[in-house]
Structure 1
Amino acid sequence: MSSNWSSMSAPEIAAPMDVRLMNIAALMLGAAACVVSLGLAVRWALAQPMFAISKIVVEGDTSHHNAITLKANVGGRISGNFFTLDLAQARGVFEAVPWVRKATVRREFPNRLRVTLEEHRSSGFWGADSESRMVNHLGEVFEANAGDTEAEELPRFVGAEGASKEVLTMYQQLSKSFQPMDAVIEQLELTGRNGWRLQLDSGTQMELGRGSPAEVMARVDKFLATHKQVLASYQRSGLDRVESVDLRNGEGYAIRLSGVSTLAAAAVEKK
């Protein structure tokens, strides 16, 4: 009788539990060592001088700034290299520079920054005569260097904080009405009682009163349409001969001419 024992393989014997645990631990330690080594290698590579930011390319609105002046303003406030630089923090640093409304900052390998600027477009000064703050074309208040504003022939706007957009909008409407008269608004104020007050380049002071923009503009247009008749009756012409005007009375207006006071009532319109 033949035997089949010779053709059968011996059964595999499982490794003891403690041996298997030691193998797993060895694999984990080896993987951890690889990760640490890789991290050290990456840190070494990132610290190489070739990745340090060495050039800033400036483009966009550069009326008040270029790469040299920007570097002087930014100074050491930007930290990190090409890989570690915080773009949001860098953008905030550039936007803190006077006249810069918005900045876009991009990395350019291996060591450059490209900065695109949008500057404020000034529409007038904001606040008291001693202040150098300005209002841009969107009605936003921004800080400007005093030396950059001395030559600006712009109107001054006065009002409560947060009212700059409202004041600018009213100024734009009023300017259109005064333009045919060759009169320029030097100052426009929104008073604490929500009344409007302006001064022309001729020195004329005008109280426009309160109300909606449409109501204020209606009173102004009424005055501009009738003031020549009033001036003619006193042998005068031109707004430069008017010292002050008060439009707060909806039925008419009070006007002062070189020391002479009179009331121009609604009857003037009937002549």
Structure 2
Amino acid sequence: MTTLRSYSAQFWSGVVFLLLVLIGLAVAGVKTYDWLQDEQRMPVQVVDFSGDYKHVDVVRLERLIRKSQPGSFFSLDVNEVYQLVEAQPWIYRASVRKQWPNKLKIYLVEQTPVAQWNDDMLLNPYGETFNARAEGLKLPKLFGPGGSEKTALEGFHAMHSLLATMGIGIRELSLSERFAWQVQLNNDVQLNLGRKEFIDRLQRFVDIYPLLAKQPKQVRYVDLRYDTGLAVGWIDETENNNKEES
């Protein structure tokens, strides 16, 4: 009987001891968690930006990151920082990682603007739009219906390559709802190329323009929407005089 009571006492003593240990571990875990979450004990001291960028304001971006992630190094959510960074207008791609003990490393790939799109967006080399300011950027202007960005950019590149042989650039390019092409050159000549075989029609302009440039009047527009030939509009002397006076 004594032995049974002794075993029972030992069993309950072990249970109580185990419970005390578990409670102690739980309390220690909570305190450790609170300690790790405490920004004052383990702050993110350095946000290290790298990459090739000119338009990204990294000072502003760091403020946004710290505002969205006010906790410690351990509580910082890398995925949330990544989403925040890639949501910025001038960021094309980014990578984010922590570096022990107090650093956040961010590598940036900046958007490369190649054209303005519909006066309110910019285009990157892949025909993708992004919403950023274009002040100080000398970019050609492209216009077209939604979804035609890549088509317009591909057409621009093809035309630019052909016109570059003459030292002429494209100021504006417009693609209509019916996908007809109209181009404003940097010498103020407007080209109407229509919908079909626009590169062949542009080649026709390239072939004939040296003769047009020798004429006493300045060319206003060249309409190439014909199977053969073209129509030319001229600027009269009155308009030239007005331009010179202004």
* TM-score under structure 2 length normalisation: 0.81
> Which residue does 1:140 correspond to in 2?
128
- For structure 2, list consecutive stretches of 5 or more residues without a partner in the other structure: 238-246
Alpha-carbon contact 1:58-1:66 (below 8 Å) kept: no
Q: Relative to 1, partners in 2 of residues 1:73 and 1:253: Cα closer, same or farther, differing over 3 Å?
A: farther
- The within-5 A match list for 1:150-229 is 150-211=135-196, 215-229=197-211
* RMSD of aligned Cα (Å): 3.0
Q: What is the distance in 2 between the residues matched to 1:69 and 1:171? A: 35
Q: What is the distance in 1 between the residues matched to 2:67 and 2:117? A: 31
Counterpart residue type for residue 124 of structure 2: N
Offset, 1:125:
0.9
Q: What is the distance in 1 between the residues matched to 2:202 and 2:68? A: 51
- The within-5 A match list for 1:10-21 is none
Counterpart residue type for residue 103 of structure 1: A
Q: Relative to 1, partners in 2 of residues 1:118 and 1:51: Cα closer, same or farther, differing over 3 Å?
A: same
Q: What is the distance in 2 between the residues matched to 1:69 and 1:115? A: 14
Alpha-carbon contact 2:56-2:110 (below 8 Å) kept: no
> Which residue does 1:123 correspond to in 2?
114
Q: What is the distance in 2 between the residues matched to 1:191 and 1:74? A: 42
Offset, 1:22:
7.0
* TM-score under structure 1 length normalisation: 0.74
Counterpart residue type for residue 44 of structure 1: D
- Which of 230, 234, 238 lines up with 1:257 in the alignment? 234
> Which residue does 1:58 correspond to in 2?
49
Q: Relative to 1, partners in 2 of residues 1:87 and 1:73: Cα closer, same or farther, differing over 3 Å?
A: closer
Q: Relative to 1, partners in 2 of residues 1:209 and 1:199: Cα closer, same or farther, differing over 3 Å?
A: same
Offset, 1:166:
1.7
- Which of 24, 27, 52 lines up with 1:37 in the alignment? 27
Larger Rg: 1
Offset, 1:218:
1.2
Matched position secondary structure for 1:162: coil
Alpha-carbon contact 1:197-1:206 (below 8 Å) kept: yes
Q: What is the distance in 1 between the residues matched to 2:113 and 2:203? A: 27
1:110-158 deviation per Cα after TM superposition (whole angstroms, max 9, x unaligned): 2221111100111011113xx2x2111221111113xxx2221110111
Matched position secondary structure for 2:47: strand
Counterpart residue type for residue 216 of structure 1: F
Q: Percent identity?
A: 26
Offset, 1:81:
2.5
Q: What is the distance in 1 between the residues matched to 2:144 and 2:69? A: 36
Q: Relative to 1, partners in 2 of residues 1:179 and 1:29: Cα closer, same or farther, differing over 3 Å?
A: same
